[in-house]
């Protein structure tokens, strides 16, 4: 923001100040001309009148400026009092443009920050999806050869008369030691 933008944002205050200076000058000029029937300097009543005019001018500007900025402040207060979540970010984007250039710059900065955050989140989600896809494909590629090997060993075991358990290392009878011994069916049992 440039100094010119700063002055433009405070133009109302500058105009009220200049108006008050003009009123003070008018009061002094009228008093010095002797329009009130006496000659001499300013009385305490004149000084009080000048002060009241100055305070009235500044107060009227402050009330006008407060009313002008009130809706912006109210929405900002609601935003900061809300729980931080995605809806709060959407509310942040719905804040009206500020009445000053400062607030317009701040609103634009919030929008840029939100876009940057949304882009970063989208890239993260894309990477996560790629990672999940890769993991699923890798698991599938690993399971296929293991399943084929398991099927081939079952066929080879069935051809030799050995029954293998679906659980590796477990014999259908239950013990691991028994799993190492071949199991014969009744036709191949040794006599005696």
- Per-residue pLDDT tens digits for 26-82: 877 777 776 555 556 677 787 788 888 888 888 888 888 888 878 777 877 777 777
Q: What are the start-end ranges of the E strands in 46-105?
A: none
Instruction: Give residue for tokens 């900002």.
Output: 76
Q: Say what the pLDDT of residue 145 is.
A: 82
Cβ(55)–Cβ(81) below 8 Å: no
The mean predicted confidence, pLDDT, of the chain is 75
55-63: long-range pairs with CB below 8 Å, 24+? 57/16, 57/17, 57/19, 57/20, 57/23, 58/16, 58/17, 58/20, 60/16, 61/12, 61/13, 61/16
Looking at the chain, how many residues does it have? Answer: 192
Cβ(162)–Cβ(182) below 8 Å: yes
| Region for 182 from its dihedrals, namely left if φ exceeds 0, alpha if ψ lies in -120 to 50, beta otherwise | beta
Q: In this structure, what DSSP letter does residue 189 have?
A: P
Q: Say what the pLDDT of residue 98 is.
A: 67
Q: Say what the pLDDT of residue 125 is.
A: 95
Residue segments in the chain with a per-residue pLDDT below the cut of 50:
168, 171, 174-186, 189, 192
**HEC secondary structure over 149-177:** HHHHHHHHHHHCCCCCCCCCCCCCCCCHH
How many angstroms separate the CA atoms of 40 and 46, rounded? 12
Question: Does the model's pTM come out above 0.85?
Answer: no
Q: Say what the pLDDT of residue 102 is.
A: 77
How many angstroms separate the CA atoms of 25 and 19, rounded? 10
């Amino acid at each position: 923001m440039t100094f010119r933008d700063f002055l433009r944002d405070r133009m109302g205050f500058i105009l009220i100040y200049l108006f008050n200076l003009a009123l003070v000058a008018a009061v002094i000029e009228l008093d010095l001309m002797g329009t009130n029937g006496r000659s001499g300097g300013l009385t305490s009543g004149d000084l009080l009148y000048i002060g009241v005019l100055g305070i009235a001018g500044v107060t009227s500007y402050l009330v006008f400026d407060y009313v002008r900025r009130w809706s912006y402040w109210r929405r900002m207060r609601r935003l900061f009092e809300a729980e931080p979540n995605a809806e709060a970010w959407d509310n942040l984007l719905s804040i009206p443009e500020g009445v000053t250039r400062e607030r317009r710059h701040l609103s634009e900065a919030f929008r840029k920050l939100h876009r940057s955050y949304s882009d970063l989140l989208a890239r993260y989600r894309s990477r996560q999806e790629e990672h999940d896809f890769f993991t699923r494909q890798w698991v599938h590629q690993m399971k296929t050869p293991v399943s084929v090997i398991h099927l081939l060993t079952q066929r080879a075991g069935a051809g030799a008369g050995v029954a293998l358990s679906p659980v590796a290392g477990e014999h259908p009878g239950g013990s691991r030691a028994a799993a190492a011994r071949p199991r014969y069916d009744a036709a191949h049992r040794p006599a005696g």
